[in-house]
Chain A
Amino acid sequence: MEDLIGSFEKKDNVSLGKMLKEVENQTPLSLEILKLSSFRKGKAHIIGVTGPPGSGKSTLVGKMCKKLATMDLRIGVVCVDPTSPFTKGALLGDRIRMQELAKLPNVFIKSLATRGNLGGLASSTADIVQVLDAYEMDVILIETVGVGQIEFDVLGVADTVLLVSVPGLGDTLQTLKAGIMEIADIYVINQADRPGADESVKDLNLMVKESGKREWSPPIHKTVATQDSGIDELIHDITAHKKYLERSGLWKEKRQTRNVTRLYSMIESLLAQRVEDHINREESLKAKVQDVMKGERDPYTTSHEIVDRLIAKHNSYQYGG
């Protein structure tokens, strides 16, 4: 591990790749790495890109990246694709839309499969981002799965969220509307050379206005990613959003909230695991679960009984020594 961290600190991409692989597979070694204080930097600007399928997210991320790379920034890209629930396999196809990044030394791309996680990201995403941040990336772009519904996970990870849509996906926008206003800091109408682009912009404008006055009013951009058009303006607003976050104190606040959220979610999963282990060890509890399974006992009472029992046992252990 020392060797790995040593070469990691020397900015050796091979060691970064190896470390990410550990983290992706949530190995014991990866937990040791993530505990290190040098892995709590919080410096990178984390940009989430979400949107429905076919909106050209990957191409857009690729072009943004190319532009950012010319600004002498170090960039990490995390692309997420769905895992097949049947075979557990995944085809990770985002990278092919970013072929022109292959020769850029300051761009590092990691493709992740969701591995059963439903919120639009892989469950390891936050950890992956943490490692990329520790590697002193200036910008980390996260591309969500994009399967249609709103993918809220990205809100918990990113500082700036882009919602990408395309003309003609008006219906999709409507269905997204319920949660759309809360999700995005910047809207992008990609493939804006297609008919209906201006209407989409108008619709979005209306929706943004309806959502009430806010300190940061989400701008709406038209891009044609395949032709590099509108990218400069988009980058400009992403930078502006970062400045706004810093100025308003949100930059720090978001990070703090994120830290606490991560703590709580870890506590949650840890507890769940411990409770399950305990039930499996204690025959009387196991029997209760069996009864619920058969429908002979109700889950409301039983859940209270189990938790009460565990806490009581834990307290007696504490006080009784």
Chain B
Amino acid sequence: MANNTTNQEKKLFDHEVVQEIEAQKKRWQENTLKGKDGEGQYYSDSGIPINLLYTPDDIKDVDYLKDIGFSGEAPYVRGVYPNMYRGRLFTVRQIAGFGTPEDTNERFKFLLKNGATGTSVVLDLPTIRGYDSDDPEAEGHVGAAGVAIDSIEDIEALYDGIPIEEVSSNIVTHLPSTTVVVMAMFAAHAEKKGIPLEKLSGTNQNDFLMETAIGSSLEVLPPKASFRLQCDAIEYASKNMPRWNPVSYNGYNLREAGTTAVQEVACAIANAIGTSEELIRRGNKIDDFAKRLSFFWNLFNDFFEEIAKCRASRLVWHEVMKDRFNAQHPKSHLMRFHVQTAGITLTKVEPLNNIARSAIQGLAAVLGGAQSLHVDSYDEAYSAPTEESALISIRTQQIIQAETNVVNTVDPLAGSYFVEKLTQDMAQRIRDYIAEIESKGGLVAAVESGWLHREISDFAYQMQKDIEDGKHKIVGLNYFPTEQSQTKVEVFRYPETAESRQKEKLEKLRKKRDKEKVERALAVLRQKCHEDVNLMPYIKEAVLEYATLGEIEEVFREEFGLWQFPLA
């Protein structure tokens, strides 16, 4: 381990050398640079002041072995694996999900055939929100922005012919209430197929912020209840599904809703801290579950800041695990994350420019050491991606993998005075913001009080003003505004028949299942909601009796009550 060295700090540069550089820098500023340093201040997107030139004196306090180290070793700034992409390339993950499970299953097969190395599915809004396809509230949404899942039969159809014991399955469940049901269905389906749970690899999103702060909705569970379900899923997987990531702390959607890169990472880590405290309270040991916690970042266009964010987030996570939780297992200390490029940076004007934006963001993700990547498609400001645009996204990732050579060496930007300095600055701001959240009573309390919503809303409002004032530049929009009237973009059409097909299946299911058994399983679940126990086994029992997602979530709504979204 890197920290086996002596306690004495070993600075990156000799004190005298730094002094000489500082003196020379002063001279350079006064003689050479004089009057040519541009007007005004420059800042990164999250507000960190940016210098014109960085030199060793900017990182004079950095101790290489302690603060940067080697890949696969503490403090993991350089990456979580020693050989990084030489050992395993980042997973090419493209989200798919529309219509019925049968429709999405076809798209899965198309993507896998073209080189995707895992499946990634997004669910439709009724599923995410806990309503069955035949619920009146679901009208108009079934199979629209994702695939509809009502029962375990839908999971069976979704993964029909997909070797889930070999390719990993990412399921974008968003909310904990959705996660516990869909994860239970996935696990039960694997067991029915004879695949042991230990063999399943994949990720759920499972973030209570998604339910209570990031996404607005009617009929939201209170933050405490949502957080409890989040922890239930994590605890269950840590005990039964050792290769499964039961959570992907969702910095991504937080950032899309409106935060800086610093807030994005800090909130996600604060959530992981809260989870760890809760699971320890339940009698688990930190090393039992910490290695299964994973993260999800959003990379915008501020290239170096985003790379520094990736590096800094690994550093802060390592500190949290080591110093705060005294985790012993090396795997508990390493932060693994998935990256999706920033959907909100994509423009509707001149949509093909989005291919360039996404490629730059994707490259930053790889330079930041991401474990898996989704590159947004250029047409996302119009609709869900077409097959053609989804393919361009895959190709973009393959170009980074195979043509740029950036994957051949680990953390290639390390040692850049600027990148190292920015990494340190980001890390400090992340620590400070975590402290601010904790001063509000922790993340759950910060959500209950509406504090986090105000932070998000204020950021989004300010950003829009900056765009309209031209302070925040967007090519084609306020910087070299487009002269094209409209680009014709072929728009992906959701299968219109999905709703009726899904309803038909549900009707049949409701007729053929054993009603009494369903009701009994739901009654047990209802009772367990009020006990200090993990609900996963009881949910699994219910899905095996063909209880639907909507029925199970109705139990949650009735037992946990509803919460009013503190927005204004």
Direct contact of A and B (CB under 8 A): yes
Taking Cβ atoms with an 8 Å cutoff, the residues of A that contact B are: 54, 59, 62, 91, 93, 96-100, 226-228
Q: Which of B73-81, B108-116, B475-483, B556-564 contacts A (4 or more CB under 8 A)?
A: B556-564
**Can you list 10 A-B contacts with CB-CB less than 8 angstroms, sorted by A residue number?**
A62-B564, A91-B568, A93-B568, A96-B564, A96-B567, A99-B564, A100-B562, A226-B563, A226-B564, A227-B222
B561 to chain A, nearest CB (A): 6
B115-136 CB contact bits vs A (8 Å, 1 = yes)? 0000000000000000000000
A93 to B216: give the CA distance in the assembly, Å: 14
Asked if B449 and A97 sit within 8 Å, CB to CB, the answer is no
Tell me which residues across on chain B come within 8 A of A96, comparing CB atoms: 564-565, 567-568
A97 to B567: give the CA distance in the assembly, Å: 8
Asked if B449 and A54 sit within 8 Å, CB to CB, the answer is yes
Asked if A99 and B218 sit within 8 Å, CB to CB, the answer is yes
Asked if A227 and B568 sit within 8 Å, CB to CB, the answer is no
| Total A-B pairs, Cβ < 8 A | 26
Q: What are the 4 tightest A-B residue pairs by CB atom distance, in nearest-first order?
A: A93-B568, A97-B564, A59-B564, A96-B567
A101 to chain B, nearest CB (A): 11
Asked if B561 and A227 sit within 8 Å, CB to CB, the answer is yes
The answer to the question of B566 belonging to the interface, with a C-beta cut-off of 8 Å to chain A, is: yes
Extra contacts, 19 of them, besides A98-B564, A100-B564 (Cβ < 8 A), are A54-B449, A59-B564, A91-B568, A93-B567, A93-B568, A96-B564, A96-B565, A96-B567, A96-B568, A97-B564, A97-B566, A99-B218, A99-B564, A99-B565, A226-B222, A226-B448, A226-B564, A227-B222, A228-B561
Residue of B nearest to A93 (CB): B568
Tell me which residues across on chain A come within 8 A of B448, comparing CB atoms: 226
Taking Cβ atoms with an 8 Å cutoff, the residues of B that contact A are: 218, 222, 448-449, 561-568
A226 to B562: give the CA distance in the assembly, Å: 8
A67 to chain B, nearest CB (A): 14
Most central of B448, B562, B568 by chain A CB within 10 Å: B568
A54 to B566: give the CA distance in the assembly, Å: 10
A104 to chain B, nearest CB (A): 14
A226 to B448: give the CA distance in the assembly, Å: 10
Tell me which residues across on chain B come within 8 A of A62, comparing CB atoms: 564
Residue of A nearest to B560 (CB): A227
Tell me which residues across on chain B come within 8 A of A91, comparing CB atoms: 568
Tell me which residues across on chain B come within 8 A of A227, comparing CB atoms: 222, 561
A62 to B563: give the CA distance in the assembly, Å: 12
A226 to B560: give the CA distance in the assembly, Å: 11
A182 to B563: give the CA distance in the assembly, Å: 34
A228 to B560: give the CA distance in the assembly, Å: 12
A116 to B218: give the CA distance in the assembly, Å: 33
Residue of B nearest to A81 (CB): B568
A184 to chain B, nearest CB (A): 24
Tell me which residues across on chain B come within 8 A of A54, comparing CB atoms: 449
A54 to B449: give the CA distance in the assembly, Å: 8
B212 to chain A, nearest CB (A): 12
Residue of A nearest to B218 (CB): A99
Most central of A93, A97, A228 by chain B CB within 10 Å: A97
Tell me which residues across on chain A come within 8 A of B565, comparing CB atoms: 96-97, 99
Most central of A59, A91, A99 by chain B CB within 10 Å: A99
Residue of B nearest to A54 (CB): B449
Tell me which residues across on chain B come within 8 A of A97, comparing CB atoms: 564-566
A155 to chain B, nearest CB (A): 26
